[in-house]
Amino acid sequence: MSRRSTIMDTNSYRPEYAEALPEETRLLTQKREELLGGAYRLFYRDPVHLVRGRGQYVWDAAGQKYLDVYNNVVSIGHCHPAVVEAVTKQMSELNTHTRYLHENILDYTEALMRTLPPELDKAMYMCTGSEANDLAIRVAQQASGGTGIIVTEEAYHGTSALTSGMSPALGSGQPIADFVRLVPAPDSYRVTDADLGTWFAARVQDVIDDMARNGIVFAGMLADSIFSSDGVFPDPVGFLAPVLETVHRNGGIYIADEVQPGFARTGDAFWGFARQGIVPDIMTTGKPMGNGFPTSALVAKGDVLAAFSDRLPYFNTFGGNPVAMAAAQAVLRVMDEEGLQEHARVTGAKLKASLEELAATHPSVGDVRGAGLFIGFELVSDRDGKTPDQQLALNVIEELREHHHILTSVAGSHGNVLKLRPPLPFNDTTDIDWLVGALDETLSGYGV
Amino acid sequence: MSRRSTIMDTNSYRPEYAEALPEETRLLTQKREELLGGAYRLFYRDPVHLVRGRGQYVWDAAGQKYLDVYNNVVSIGHCHPAVVEAVTKQMSELNTHTRYLHENILDYTEALMRTLPPELDKAMYMCTGSEANDLAIRVAQQASGGTGIIVTEEAYHGTSALTSGMSPALGSGQPIADFVRLVPAPDSYRVTDADLGTWFAARVQDVIDDMARNGIVFAGMLADSIFSSDGVFPDPVGFLAPVLETVHRNGGIYIADEVQPGFARTGDAFWGFARQGIVPDIMTTGKPMGNGFPTSALVAKGDVLAAFSDRLPYFNTFGGNPVAMAAAQAVLRVMDEEGLQEHARVTGAKLKASLEELAATHPSVGDVRGAGLFIGFELVSDRDGKTPDQQLALNVIEELREHHHILTSVAGSHGNVLKLRPPLPFNDTTDIDWLVGALDETLSGYGV
């Protein structure tokens, strides 16, 4: 298993870049170092000082416009007026908690459940994806009677004590909990087996057997349905079915972490697991749910959740409050009214095709994969050997920021996969041209 | 140690009350049961359906006005226009995360640090108090090299896997983590030792010794500086100094959980620990920080936090985002402009004096204690024996809601302490009269 020193090393600012910074940036950066904890990281050698956002665009303090090809939180677009209006209205009327009755949490849950299979029939609300995954693990452990959890080798599932212990993407400094086992990612680019699903399910069975040898009772598997931090692996559609079956056969709970692929992003379906044709026992979501307003959710099969809630209390002060629910309701409504799922499907397919064309002239393009507006663009130094080229990926990220005013980042265990994940209003002509043209020019500049 | 079945049993709705409910309430309650996880609880036999709030008042769907003597989240008042305006403005401009530069997090941190002792010089931001305490424990464990954590017997510190394992207030269904030890609360009403601080420090030393016998290396102590869920114990001022000294002498980290007493509520100081004259190694806060906008913080001594951040990454997607920081900044500004700390001090003292007068005619009033607008009003069946009267407390809570339209709740290991904790604009004449008159009438009705 490969482990980078930390996920933050990918394209982050370091103190040695300070001297080269413009004065204003240097002062803000220094002030951060003085005031904030040392765990804070900034993107880029020359960090971006953003002041305004709209749709898929952001502007820095100097007025420079950027194309945002990274931020999935603002999924319906930066500063969408429908969310601003919904939050303003509800904040002006009432903002309490779930120990009083309020329609918003009920109306939202009904709307959310219309996007979900009927088996997922009980909802709970928190503030962050970490909180949703933290609770999901506790529910899985109660429902299964076990403790052992499976995640992928480069998974990221959160920042709490429990979820960081199952987030190897945090780097080698972060210990993995002793009841957690890692499986290799379903790397459709490198795994040569004809049936990726069967191969992946066999890896899952391997670690379940390993747990049994160590006296760990298997509780379940937690997986991002698009394996974002592993490098973005959405295909072939259906490959998760044998995994789900394996988890269930061994008495485990399957948790679909939908923080990344959920809310229409993959185009083919509203949820990543639905695109894969499976029904998980629990699903969690977060980031795009409130378009930046802190809100997250866990939805589970009633009997699975009851195993927890019959024994244990749970109350989240801000979770499911009227304002969070108003923000989340506005997001669902806009997605529907603006047809963002279909837009993601069509625009994503067009973007992917354009990126695939780059492979014809750029041998460094090893693989292009993705679903809707979630695309992994993998750079290699050697196409036959599929040798990851992290340095090239980092250089490309920095050049996109500096010369082409495009914001994006990298993923994967080698940090060589560009993670292209824009706000969903991403334009199907001008934005594609902006991004693909910039990549073409940058790779040409490196002669790769 | 006494353990209620769960903290939620205090004054919560139960299914057997359904038949007696008004039609609309019954339908909403049923819908919650259908859609939401079973862990959700409602306050009151007849749950309140709130639709509007302003200052210290809320209104239900039928237009009935209530005096809010419970909700500390909306500390500067329900729906304060300054927070609405700040959130609306920033949400319309930009809402990203801390990997780009933004002034709001720096401006807020400077303002926050002006309220703190200079030793607490590094800040980090999350979304909930649970997230802040979860991280604080991890920091304490890294900084001390130990794992053992001390909390009080009826403590509540959060809802994550880690923090719920140190929250005995969640009830007997919630297991306490094996590296956690409980000390009795500093119950100024029942502990007869002349020096409460020395007594409490000795209890802390006892469990540190117990940890050592079990091979657990002591990491630190996590304590709510006003011991809210233990029953509200703010006095005598200074009693935490020997505890802090004991924690330090044993190589531990002292974490002040300021979610309850922080942000001017106690009147005497801006923070609960400051009122006690101590400087903790880490302080955490949450609830009132954004007046309902989900935001929380951890502030620590630089060297303590560095022990964590030199090794481990931490990133919280929504934590410290420009909108959260705008909301938090508005709260600090309003507290200053409206003089809410002084208001809490003066009004709290007046309220406490009025409540103490009730003891003259009502033998059920065992003790009145508090600081500023955070008061514990303890009901007993036998003043000499100080026998807790939970049933009376529950009856009073229900009657206050039903007949006097006052919202409050209970605390303490026996659930017999009324927790009087209104939004800070609580009026020093009419609101005091409303509350004290209602308590007088209710206790008279029971002939106690």
Please tell me the distance from the alpha carbon of residue A100 to that of residue A216, in angstroms, as a whole number.
41
Cβ-contact A380, A418 below 8 angstroms: no
Residues A344 and A330 in one domain: no
Mean pLDDT of all residues in B365-377: 98
What does the H/E/C string look like for B368-380?
EEEECCEEEEEEE
CA distance A75 to chain B (A): 12
Domain boundary among A282, A307, A337: A337
Please tell me the distance from the alpha carbon of residue A204 to that of residue A366, in angstroms, as a whole number.
27
Does residue A2 fall inside a structural domain? no
pLDDT at position B3 is 43
Residue type, A80: H
Instruction: Write the CB contacts of B162 (distance below 8 Å, at least 6 apart in sequence).
Output: A160, A161, A162, B134, B137, B138, B177
Residues A116 and A67 in one domain: no
Does residue B248 fall inside a structural domain? yes
CATH number for position A300: 3.40.640.10
Distance of CA B17 to the CA centre of its chain: 29
Does residue A1 fall inside a structural domain? no
Mean pLDDT of all residues in B214-223: 98
B341 compared with A3, residue with greater pLDDT: B341
Closest CA to A66 of A437, A431, A439, A445: A431
Residues A361 and A240 in one domain: no
Report pLDDT digits (tens) over B378-400. 999 999 999 999 999 999 999 99
Does residue B91 fall inside a structural domain? yes
Q: How many CB atoms lie within 10 A of CB A132?
A: 33
Distance of CA B276 to the CA centre of its chain: 16
Query: Does the beta carbon of B123 lie under 8 angstroms from any beta carbon of chain A?
Result: yes
CB contact under 8 A, A91 and B92: no
Residues A71 and A87 in one domain: no
pLDDT at position A212 is 97
Does residue B131 fall inside a structural domain? yes
Please tell me the distance from the alpha carbon of residue A113 to that of residue B35, in angstroms, as a whole number.
9
Out of B12, B51, B161, whose CB is closest to A137? B161
Domain boundary among B307, B337, B367: B337
Does residue B1 fall inside a structural domain? no
Residues A375 and A285 in one domain: no
Closest chain B residue to the Cα of A13, Cα to Cα: B99
- Helices in B125-178 by DSSP H: which ranges? 129-144, 161-164
Query: Does the beta carbon of A1 lie under 8 angstroms from any beta carbon of chain B?
Result: no
Cβ-contact A348, A372 below 8 angstroms: yes
Report pLDDT digits (tens) over B93-136. 999 999 999 999 999 999 999 999 999 999 999 999 999 999 99
Residues A65 and A198 in one domain: no
User: For strand B365-371 and strand B148-152, is the pairing parallel, antiparallel, or unpaired?
Assistant: unpaired
Residues B330 and B235 in one domain: yes
Residue type, B141: Q
Residues B110 and B204 in one domain: yes
Alpha carbon separation from A11 to A275, A392, A442, B150 (Å, rounded): 31, 12, 17, 40
Out of A87, A170, A317, whose CB is closest to B287? A317
pLDDT category of residue B9 using cuts at 50, 70 and 90: low
Does residue B71 fall inside a structural domain? yes
Residues A96 and A195 in one domain: yes
CATH number for position B56: 3.90.1150.10
Domain boundary among A278, A312, A337: A337
Distance of CA A421 to the CA centre of its chain: 9
Name every chain B residue with its beta carbon within 8 A of the beta carbon of A159: 131, 135, 314-316
For chain B, how many structural domains are there in total? 2
What does the H/E/C string look like for B240-264?
CHHHHHHHHHCCCEEEEECCCCCCC
CB contact under 8 A, A109 and B174: no
pLDDT at position A12 is 86
Residues B31 and B145 in one domain: no
Residues A102 and A25 in one domain: no
CB contact under 8 A, B123 and A286: no
Cβ-contact A353, A274 below 8 angstroms: no
Mean pLDDT of all residues in B56-64: 98
Dihedral sign for Cα atoms in the order B158, B163, B165, B166 = negative
Report pLDDT digits (tens) over A234-255. 999 999 999 999 999 999 999 9
Buried b (16+ CB within 10 A) or exposed e, A133-146: bbbbbbbbbbbbeb
CB contact under 8 A, A159 and B323: no
Secondary element (H or E) of residue B274 = helix B272-275
Output DSSP code: residue B14: -
Residue showing tokens 């490196």: A446
Cβ-contact B98, B315 below 8 angstroms: yes
Cβ-contact B94, A52 below 8 angstroms: yes
pLDDT category of residue B12 using cuts at 50, 70 and 90: confident
Residues A190 and A297 in one domain: yes
User: For strand B296-301 and strand B282-285, is the pairing parallel, antiparallel, or unpaired?
Assistant: antiparallel
User: For strand B409-411 and strand B417-420, is the pairing parallel, antiparallel, or unpaired?
Assistant: antiparallel
| Positions in chain A whose pLDDT score sits under 70 | 1-10
Domain range for residue A388? 7-76+340-445
* Collapsed DSSP state (helix, strand, coil) of residue A224: strand
Does residue B220 fall inside a structural domain? yes
Kindly state the tokens that stand for A31. 């002030």
